Amino acid sequence: MEFIAITCPACWQSLEIESPTFSDQPIIMTTDCEVCCRPMVVTVEYVDPNDDPMVSVEPES
Ligand SMILES: [Zn+2]
């Protein structure tokens, strides 16, 4: 199982989440921060299935 590192946009804590796979695209996930419990929206975009994905995190509005 692969994990990707993200940073919580609310408290800046580094977190690891289970990485989706290339075939899961398009990937937009909502997850709660383990530290501050605030929800965030994580978007994962694979450019190449053999490369690490681009990951962006935004606070849920
Ligand atoms: Zn947080």
Distance 20 CA to ligand 1 centre (A): 21
pLDDT higher than threshold 90 for residue 27: yes
Which pLDDT does position 1 carry in this prediction? 80
Which pLDDT does position 24 carry in this prediction? 94
Cβ atoms 33, 18 nearer than 8 A: no
Note the pTM of the prediction, 2 decimals. Answer: 0.88
**Collapsed DSSP state (helix, strand, coil) of residue 55:** strand
Neighbours of ion ligand 1 (CB under 5 A): 8, 10-11, 13, 33, 35-36
Distance 9 CA to ligand 1 centre (A): 7
**Collapsed DSSP state (helix, strand, coil) of residue 27:** strand
Which pLDDT does position 14 carry in this prediction? 97
Where does the pLDDT of residue 61 fall: very low under 50, low under 70, confident under 90, or very high at 90 and above?
confident
Which pLDDT does position 2 carry in this prediction? 87
